[in-house]
Amino acid sequence: SREIRLAARPVGEPGPGTFELAETRVPQPAEGQIVVRNTWMSVDPYMREWMKEEVSYAQPYEIGAPLVGSALGEVVASRAESVPVGSVVTHFLGWREYALLDAADATVVDTTLAPAEAYLGPLGTTGLTAYATLTRVAPVRPGDVVWVSAAAGAVGSIAGQVARKLGAARVIGSAGGPDKVKRIVTGFGFDTGLDHKAGPIAAQLAEAAPDGIDVYVDNVGGDHLRAAIAELRLHGRIGMVGAISSYNATQPVPGPDNLFELAAKNATLRGMLINHHFDLFPEWIERGSAWIADGSLHYEQTVLDGIERAPEAFLGVLRGANTGKMLVRLS
* C-alpha–C-alpha distance, residues 42 and 302, integer Å: 11
* C-alpha–C-alpha distance, residues 50 and 63, integer Å: 11
Residue 241 has phi, psi (to 5 degrees) of: -100, -45
Contact region for ligand NDP (CB under 6 A) — 31-39, 59-67, 75-83, 315-323?
Answer: 315-323
Contact call for residue 292 and ligand NDP (CB under 6 A): no
Report the residue number, 172 or 241, with the smaller CB distance to ligand NDP: 241
- According to CB under 6 A, which residues from 7 to 46 bind ligand NDP? 44-46
DSSP 8-state assignment for residue 188: T
Size of the site for ligand NDP (CB under 6 A): 29
Contact 298, 126 (CB under 8 A): no
Contact 93, 72 (CB under 8 A): no
Residue 192 has phi, psi (to 5 degrees) of: -140, 140
Minimum Å gap between C-beta 113 and ligand NDP is 21
Report the residue number, 33 or 192, with the smaller CB distance to ligand NDP: 192
Minimum Å gap between C-beta 247 and ligand NDP is 7
Minimum Å gap between C-beta 79 and ligand NDP is 33
* C-alpha–C-alpha distance, residues 218 and 252, integer Å: 19
Report the residue number, 175 or 238, with the smaller CB distance to ligand NDP: 175
Minimum Å gap between C-beta 144 and ligand NDP is 20
Contact call for residue 50 and ligand NDP (CB under 6 A): no
Helices (H), the chain: 46-50, 125-132, 154-165, 178-186, 201-208, 222-231, 261-264, 281-293, 310-319
Report the residue number, 80 or 292, with the smaller CB distance to ligand NDP: 292
Minimum Å gap between C-beta 35 and ligand NDP is 28
- According to CB under 6 A, which residues from 88 to 147 bind ligand NDP? 125-126, 129
- Find the helix or strand (DSSP H, E) in which 217 lies: strand 213-218
Interacting residue with ligand NDP among 29, 121, 122, 153 (CB under 6 A): 153
DSSP 8-state assignment for residue 216: E
- According to CB under 6 A, which residues from 161 to 220 bind ligand NDP? 175-176, 180, 196, 219-220
* C-alpha–C-alpha distance, residues 210 and 192, integer Å: 13
Site string for ligand NDP, 221-250 (x = CB under 6 A): --------------------xx-xx-----
Closest CA to 217 of 264, 158, 167, 165: 158
Report the residue number, 5 or 48, with the smaller CB distance to ligand NDP: 48
Contact 140, 168 (CB under 8 A): yes
DSSP helix/strand/coil, 302: strand
Residues that bind ligand NDP (CB under 6 A): 44-46, 125-126, 129, 150, 152-156, 175-176, 180, 196, 219-220, 241-242, 244-245, 272-274, 317, 320, 322, 326
